[in-house]
Amino acid sequence: MIYLKAFLFGGLICAIAQILIDRTKLTPARILVGAVVAGVCLSALGIYGPFKEFAGAGAAVPLTGFGHLLAEGVRTAIDEKGAIGILTGGLTASSAGIAAAMLFAYVSALIFRSKSK
Amino acid sequence: MQDQKDIKKTTYKDYAEKRASPSPLIRDTFLAFIFGGALCVAGQGLTALCLAWTGSEKTAGTLASLALIAIASILTGFGVFDKAARYGGAGMLVPITGFSNAMTSPAIDAKSEGWVLGVGAKIFNVAGPVILYGTLSSAVYGLIYYVLKTIIL
């Protein structure tokens, strides 16, 4: 059941993004930025947390989930450490993903050669 | 030749828009739905695997994301990701795989421009704005949350 929910809601987020790409002049890069900021806002409003409980990876895997991770990290860090959490929370929570993406991108750049497109 | 030089920027834009085939919205959206949904199911499966391995739900979620990032980066290197993204569109780009692709693809292309200002800088072409605006908005939210929390408690 959780797999079906992950499929439906993850697919839905991507479908909305596709409509935005097709119907507006938004470039994919702007869509990615928009998705992350939207995730932060929805998390701040207390919507994304319950949604993630419900949809599992369908909420965690899209980049809106990355935004939720940032906002949730800030919230937890403020609760635990006070004002400094405003600055430390987001990047601390997302550090694994960002570091991994840098690492794999760099190693891929070492190994692979540019393909003519 | 002279005619082409006289084409103004706006005229060219009109011309290009007229020539560009209209994007088949329903087909694109359907494919994005299928590809995006499938990636999330893969993420759910990886999370279940990692949960059985580590026992921690939070670590499992992180490891599943890392696995998707790694796979997307390697597939980008082999040129498979770009082909899949041609069909899947936002279904490939909006999941965390798109973030990985957005770092790997310019990094590979920038090899000829050197390792510092080429690869080192271009790796953040798209990821940089994502990290910047994500961190900025989370800090703004943090500030509001902190102020509200201090006033209320």
Span B114-126, pLDDT tens digits = 999 999 999 999 9
Q: How far is A51 from chain B (nearest CA, A)?
A: 14
Amino acid at B66: L
Contact between B89 and A26 under an 8 Å Cβ cutoff? The reply is no
Is the model's pLDDT at B22 over the cut of 70?
Answer: no
In DSSP terms, which residues pair with B95 in a beta bridge? A62
The candidate with the shortest Cα–Cα distance to B23, out of A17, A18, A110, is: A18
**A-B interface: how many C-beta pairs under 8 angstroms?**
263
Burial class (CB in 10 A: 0-12, 13-18, 19+), B22: exposed
Is the Cβ of A106 closer than 8 Å to some Cβ of chain B? yes
| A 1-20 residues with CB < 8 A to B | 2-3, 6-15, 17-20
Number of compact structural domains in chain B: 1
How far apart are alpha carbons B129 and A41 in whole angstroms? 17
Is the Cβ of A62 closer than 8 Å to some Cβ of chain B? yes
pLDDT digits (tens, 9 = 90+) for B55-114: 898 899 999 999 999 999 999 999 999 999 999 999 999 999 999 999 999 999 999 999
The candidate with the shortest Cα–Cα distance to A39, out of A79, A69, A11, A78, is: A69
Is the Cβ of A46 closer than 8 Å to some Cβ of chain B? no
Domain boundaries, chain A: 2-111
Mean pLDDT of B4-10: 60
Contact between A77 and A88 under an 8 Å Cβ cutoff? The reply is yes
Q: How many CA atoms lie within 13 A of A112 on its CB side?
A: 25
Structure ipTM over 0.90, yes or no: yes
Contact between B112 and B118 under an 8 Å Cβ cutoff? The reply is yes
Considering the domain boundaries, does residue B138 fall inside one? no
How far apart are alpha carbons B76 and B65 in whole angstroms? 16
Q: What pLDDT is stored for residue A14 in this prediction?
A: 97
Considering the domain boundaries, does residue B133 fall inside one? no
Structural domain including B56 reads: 25-126
Contact between B50 and B59 under an 8 Å Cβ cutoff? The reply is yes
Considering the domain boundaries, does residue B118 fall inside one? yes
Burial class (CB in 10 A: 0-12, 13-18, 19+), A117: exposed
| pTM for this prediction | 0.88
